[in-house]
Structure 1
């Protein structure tokens, strides 16, 4: 399909990192856009963009029904994220909420394309060296988030087969960019306090993707009618080591360059012990070391994006060095560094 001014794009998670950039791209293209935003979320910038805002979330069926009314495209970015907590808390949003959204979109009768933002976290938590989409997702997961991202992705593909849902699944790696309110601010705090430590040598690869590169894939997925039911890995193309990633943040933020290293084997043992203790005690916050943090900082996360390049003509335009420069410029402008 060719997106025009006659279309209407409904974006869930519109105040988040990815969703806000989808909305922004729609505005640049003069495509009507409607945004789902929680009442507790800061939606002031969406109001400044004159975006049609529906207040609600994935647990409120009425807001989803209102959101999809007349929409020709749905870009589903919303999710409960995190690396700790009861699986059911994640499932109620990421799986049950998705089912409600899918039913509303299908019943509305105007849908032409549904883009589901999944995650490279659906793969097994191990070292990856060029893993492509032929490898099935890991249905066991390492936490509530990764498990329910697998379940939600499979739900979308079931709807493709059973109800002819015109959907595409996009699997980004670690997304960074302006308006990130979650991971990078925590890294800043660790660097400021000199508490940051690499797990292992720091030379293993990230699965980094600048939000601008991801937006390119999302809109190509919308406009390509030959990729219904397909899944696409998305990264920057040039992956960087954990050390390059963190050192670049330290350099641009004028933070002390981290020198501490914890042997990976020791970190894995500590993570296993701490997770067991925290679960036994019913802790609501994640331990300082967990399986998710081992994955982020200790595993080699190299995934192939050849399928996206071939079938979506994906050509990453922003290299990590430039992407992180733009990201840190935004944080400085907001007084958040």
Structure 2
């Protein structure tokens, strides 16, 4: 079986490509910057630098491929709406069209549980509990991209989408690196009482879910699946675990949600008028994430994908900390 992984220069795409290679799959990888794929080329991947905005180029990528694992896209909350539409919707349309024209058998789409988040505490969220309004453009465009993927079923393409929650492990450049930088400047504080529980996903567990999505039978097709470790933890326990591992002071200061949310509003307003509109270091979304309960129901993935988390959050955090201490050179080894 030949697998094409898009977004392979990123954390999730790169880690899954490596995982598939280690299990003997024929893997083709793509990213805009070809040099970012060199570590995977050394491991035996076929590397093709490409811009997914080029429909003809995407069709070439999908030539002689059995399955596409589509991990590329824009992540975050800050930026122009048209950029998110381009990166998450238009590029996915190009991938879907290429899969159909090149007779690719299956498309696995990496979506996001951000589609559920509405700023309130939510526990055990099921796949069908999508709010009427989305919290931001990122969430909206990920959901729109899902609809493009599932719309291809009627033309014979086998499709699956995954919504993994707060993925971490070696190579994570999003969640804990930002928190570490804030704590190094002593700018991190517990928002609220610090007892809110959230889900994380070990990258090792997500690899299992992605591979199951590639291999699973017809009964699992045409659905979206929540993915997590299935064991919610207080978010500040996880954050302070990383701080201890990195020999940084524990986060012990408390700030009220209302005060912190107000500060985030002012920070965002300042960034909107600042030249270049830089991303705010403190945002309303970030404050909500650090203050609200947010967990997923993964029963559907367990039943249809045979997904069963094997690697604990603490093992994933140990992996991340070892990688970070080593100078972020995990992928180059």
Q: TM-score range by the shorter chain?
A: over 0.9
Specify the SS of the correspondent of 2:19: helix
Specify the SS of the correspondent of 1:321: helix
Distance, in Å, in 1 between the alignment partners of 2:286 and 2:22 is 36
Report the number of matched residues. Answer: 328
Specify the SS of the correspondent of 1:154: helix
Contact 1:139–1:150 (Cα < 8 Å) also in 2: no
TM-score, reference length from structure 1 = 0.91
Contact 2:31–2:51 (Cα < 8 Å) also in 1: yes
Please list the CA deviations of residues 152-200 of structure 1 after superposition, one character each: whole Å capped at 9, or x if unmatched.
Answer: 112212222x323210010000110111223322222112222211221
Q: State yes or no: 1:192 paired with 2:200.
A: no
Partner of 1:150: 143
Distance, in Å, in 2 between the alignment partners of 1:41 and 1:208 is 30
Q: State yes or no: 1:95 paired with 2:75.
A: no
Once the two structures are overlaid, the 10-residue window that deviates more, 24-33 or 268-277, is 268-277
Distance, in Å, in 2 between the alignment partners of 1:80 and 1:48 is 27
Partner of 2:53: 59
* Match for residue 160 of structure 2 among 155, 165, 168: 168
Please list the CA deviations of residues 240-276 of structure 1 after superposition, one character each: whole Å capped at 9, or x if unmatched.
Answer: 2111111111011111111122211222233344434
Contact 1:209–1:236 (Cα < 8 Å) also in 2: yes
Distance, in Å, in 2 between the alignment partners of 1:74 and 1:94 is 16
Partner of 1:130: 124
Distance, in Å, in 2 between the alignment partners of 1:80 and 1:148 is 9
Structure 1 residue 283, shift from structure 2 partner: 5.2
TM-score, reference length from structure 2 = 0.92
Residues 1:231 and 1:335: Cα distance change in structure 2 (over 3 Å)? closer
Residues 1:265 and 1:164: Cα distance change in structure 2 (over 3 Å)? farther
Contact 2:74–2:88 (Cα < 8 Å) also in 1: yes
Please list the CA deviations of residues 273-313 of structure 1 after superposition, one character each: whole Å capped at 9, or x if unmatched.
Answer: 44345435575222233232123212111111111112212
Q: State yes or no: 1:115 paired with 2:108.
A: yes
Please list the CA deviations of residues 66-98 of structure 1 after superposition, one character each: whole Å capped at 9, or x if unmatched.
Answer: 211111000011111122011111111110011
Distance, in Å, in 1 between the alignment partners of 2:77 and 2:186 is 23
* Match for residue 253 of structure 2 among 254, 257, 260: 260
Structure 1 residue 18, shift from structure 2 partner: 0.9
Residues 1:299 and 1:57: Cα distance change in structure 2 (over 3 Å)? farther
Q: State yes or no: 1:25 paired with 2:8.
A: no
Partner of 2:229: 236
Residues 1:277 and 1:189: Cα distance change in structure 2 (over 3 Å)? closer
Distance, in Å, in 2 between the alignment partners of 1:10 and 1:199 is 41
Contact 1:142–1:291 (Cα < 8 Å) also in 2: no
Contact 2:96–2:148 (Cα < 8 Å) also in 1: no
* Match for residue 308 of structure 1 among 283, 301, 320: 301
Structure 1 residue 117, shift from structure 2 partner: 0.5
Residues 1:45 and 1:186: Cα distance change in structure 2 (over 3 Å)? same
| Aligned Cα root-mean-square deviation (Å) | 2.0
Partner of 1:3: none
Once the two structures are overlaid, the 10-residue window that deviates more, 251-260 or 269-278, is 269-278
Distance, in Å, in 1 between the alignment partners of 2:205 and 2:190 is 27
Distance, in Å, in 1 between the alignment partners of 2:276 and 2:290 is 23
Q: State yes or no: 1:298 paired with 2:265.
A: no
Distance, in Å, in 2 between the alignment partners of 1:295 and 1:132 is 20
Distance, in Å, in 2 between the alignment partners of 1:332 and 1:86 is 34
Unaligned runs of 5+ in 1: 1-6
